[in-house]
Amino acid sequence: MPQPQHIVALGLARSGRAVLEAAGHLGATALAHDRDEGVDAVAPPGTELRLGAWDDAFLEGADLVVKSPGIPEDAEPVLAAKRAGLEVVSEVEFAARHLANPIVAITGTNGKTTTTALLGAMFEAAGRPVEVVGNIGRPLASLVGTVADDAWIVCELSSFQLEGVSTFRPSVAIITNLEPDHLDRHGSFEAYADAKLRVFAQQSANDVAVVPHGFGTIPGRARQIEFGATDPLPAEPLIPGAHNRENAAAATAAARAIGVSDDAIAQALRTFPGVEHRIEEVAIVDGVSYVNDSKATNVAAALRALASFPGRRKHVILGGRGKKESYAPLAFAFEDEDRAYVIGEAADEIASALTAAGVAHVHSGDLATAVAAAASAAMPGDVVVLSPACASFDQFTSFEHRGEEFRRLAQNLT
């Protein structure tokens, strides 16, 4: 793959900034654009910054355009680049072209962050060098020019990151599951699924694809390994829930395929504490548990949260910015004594589904009001869980921001 000489980077969040640093390591110049004039960014040497309105002149001299995952395929800068005959790739595609390391790529609708972090812990338990990157936090491009040659890369990938891949070929690719999500961005489940399945498309017969039992046909030519929640494991995972046992089975299957010993896998399973913002107990106040599941940004994820507390009355905070999903399956998963508190842009739509299912609920509007109402209604032994089934961007900057606010509110109840 020819090395680019002048890169145009679209977006100046974490991925875009990593692309600029990578360009410097490659000896390329770069121009970065972000429509947000207030973005806090410093131009590395050899980089120009352009903020605010897009101008096609920004493409002058470019031989590659790299877009951040938050920028859709139909954004004006992307369309302008394609009209100019320029290749437009995702940050992941760009980074992978300049990394010789073997990559394990993890995607799926839910469970991918837990699976990614757990697989990284398995490598560490085996004493093998590993870098854990991608949608989990640190961009893949941050490794260009900096990663040790002998390190494996374990990379979590969203559908947004996989939209712009064409030659990306992971040595091992995992899909945890595939359920409706991000329909507001992709337009249909079929388009969303197509983006996810691109993780397998370039794999050869020497590579490995790890998929749920009975998943069906996937693109590419990789050797296929299946996993499921009831698979025998070398140890039982510390993190609770059937969904987490399924994540553990996926990570175990991939680790074994790579040659990690069962002893190391067992050590990781016994000690891995889980990830922040995913069914994370953040406080116990007057016998009531407060659980932060802010990462549950779709209905399927919230369903897993509801199933994680059998025999306990649940006070569930739902809402945020919807993704054009039906909330009916979630509403009908509530048990008789459970109660919901709806917030954000999707509150009315969620409330309609809850009413149809006969679920008691309160229009709270915002998170602080919801936490206060749930705390007032909860009795010892109950659980108050933030599991929104929605994106966070109506009232918060990210699901992490939302989760940290829930943590603060819950801990301030003491």
Which residues are designated catalytic? 112, 135, 182
| Backbone angles phi and psi of 82, in degrees to 5 | -70, -35
Q: Which two tokens stand for residue 309?
A: 């507390």
Contact 29, 3 (CB under 8 A): no
Our separate counts of H helices and E strands in the chain read 14, 17
Contact 258, 152 (CB under 8 A): yes
Which residues are bridge partners to 383 per DSSP?
289, 314
| Rg of the chain on CA atoms, in Å | 22
Direct distance between the N- and C-terminal alpha carbons of the chain, in angstroms, rounded to an integer: 58
Handedness of CA 206, 211, 215, 218 (dihedral sign): negative
Q: What's the rounded Cα separation, in Å, for the pair 175 and 197?
A: 8
3-state secondary structure 348-392: HHHHHHHHHCCCEEEEEECHHHHHHHHHHHCCCCCEEEECCCCEC
Which residues are CB-neighbours of 57 under 8 A, at least 6 positions away? none
Q: What's the rounded Cα separation, in Å, for the pair 302 and 384?
A: 13
Among 174, 172, 171, 168, smallest CA distance to 202 is for 168
Q: What's the rounded Cα separation, in Å, for the pair 102 and 318?
A: 40
What one-letter code names the amino acid at 4?
Answer: P
Contact 328, 366 (CB under 8 A): no
Q: What's the rounded Cα separation, in Å, for the pair 329 and 303?
A: 8
